[in-house]
Structure 1
């Protein structure tokens, strides 16, 4: 289940969102293509990813920031950038360019702090922009709870794009992070669920001043809980690819 777009894109160019995507992609390409071995890559992540045990020892505090610009693979990077692309532009417009940048970085630091508090003795490095982007999602939930988000569902051979209200998409996602965090053993490496949950809550809290300046509940009444922009119209377009009917191609084993 992946959100692929919202129905009220920003009316302004989201320069910071574009810059963050470019920075994440650029940094990833630099080290992923330059480092030739898995051992060297592991050392790189230990040095620049957030390792809770290092923080407990009193060092590596810069990794609260550096870790959010590193990713463990192409799919990890692509998934994070997709979420940032979908939810970042409207939040940037409401907060302003510099305000959104500060909000993004603060959410990422808070997410890393949540993961550290959950596993302060872990030696597994945490990398990824997921915590910061979770903060963007938390802020989006507060500002635009009724925005429609197109979600791509894929299950075996079934796939479909369905518009779903943001409060349902983001609420289910947050619930999954909490459940997975409680269900996953603390010493098992993998997804940093507590960073996701912590970043989401931090983003929601950091967006409260902006929401109140816009009028709080009156802002929801004015905008009906969606970004204040005309709704984009998306339509399925037919292609010129010909259809192939079952049984249309015969082989030597078929009877004439």
Structure 2
């Protein structure tokens, strides 16, 4: 696995939408009920029940997206202690939930610091160039469209799942797919774990192609013991959606500047 840290691809305008998306994601995470306590080290049952109740209301649930059927009983946020141990109190929902709208709210929810920071790192590195190419308004619409494609694609593949789907990964995967189409030759500085973190500057098509390949393999169940809580299928669908939406813009996209100096972590020789 490689960790991107910077791309050699300057922009012409300030990526206000990218910065706003990052800020909103961080703020929502900090104020998510149940997460403040867990971040501070308090992972009590009450905190977890508050979090489950919040996610049930605002996360996207495949079963609800496909069948448009809401559960009759949901966590209320209260905890109890029974003979089999602690648990969350269930009751009828006291709110009206729109499954299609929950896809939008779910894009701004994250399950932990690593989940949040990993997504924001990719958005910061690659989102500014896609926003620069599309413009602010079209980039915002593109981002949301890829998020919806990823969520519904995952829901179609897991139509009976009641597990909440959260995170900006699907929308950001669309950004990566667009970057691969529009700037395949742009150089990206990455850290490769090999005894130590080895810095390399690689073409975007290698970095993003490798990332997509891993997601495709993991979504098939290969290479991992279980899918766990990562929606790899959503990543794959979002990436492909981003590629398809960006493809018509490819002919008119100017290539990134050819980098000079360091190449693959070593200084290139001048040609005389």
TM-score using structure 1 length: 0.80
Q: Give 3-state SS (helix, strand or coil) of 1:69's partner.
A: coil
**Aligned 8 A contact 1:46 1:125 in 2:** yes
Q: Which moved more, 1:32-41 or 1:70-79?
A: 32-41
**Aligned 8 A contact 1:8 1:232 in 2:** no
* 1:71 maps to 2:81: no
Distance in 1 (alpha carbons) for counterparts of 2:28 and 2:7 = 27
Distance in 1 (alpha carbons) for counterparts of 2:157 and 2:173 = 17
Partner of 1:180: 218
Distance in 1 (alpha carbons) for counterparts of 2:192 and 2:15 = 27
Distance in 1 (alpha carbons) for counterparts of 2:162 and 2:231 = 13
CA RMSD of aligned residues (A): 2.3
Q: Which runs of 4+ in 1 moved over 3 A?
A: 229-236
Partner of 2:4: 3
> What is the CA distance between 1:45 and its match in structure 2?
1.4
Structure 1 pair 232/136, CA: closer, same or farther in 2 (3 Å)?
farther
Unaligned runs of 5+ residues in structure 2 are 39-45, 70-98, 266-272
Distance in 1 (alpha carbons) for counterparts of 2:261 and 2:112 = 33
Q: Which digits, 9 at most, give the CA deviation of each residue in 1:62-113, with x for residues without a partner? A: 1111111100001100000000001011111110000100000000000101
> What is the CA distance between 1:38 and its match in structure 2?
1.1
**Aligned 8 A contact 1:124 1:189 in 2:** no
Distance in 1 (alpha carbons) for counterparts of 2:13 and 2:185 = 21
- 2:169 pairs, out of 108, 130, 133, with 130
Partner of 1:248: none
Number of equivalences: 223
Structure with the greater relative contact order (CA < 8 A, sep ≥ 6): 1 or 2?
A: 1
Distance in 1 (alpha carbons) for counterparts of 2:260 and 2:146 = 29
**Aligned 8 A contact 2:62 2:152 in 1:** no
Distance in 1 (alpha carbons) for counterparts of 2:135 and 2:260 = 22
Partner of 2:59: 49
Structure 1 pair 78/143, CA: closer, same or farther in 2 (3 Å)?
same
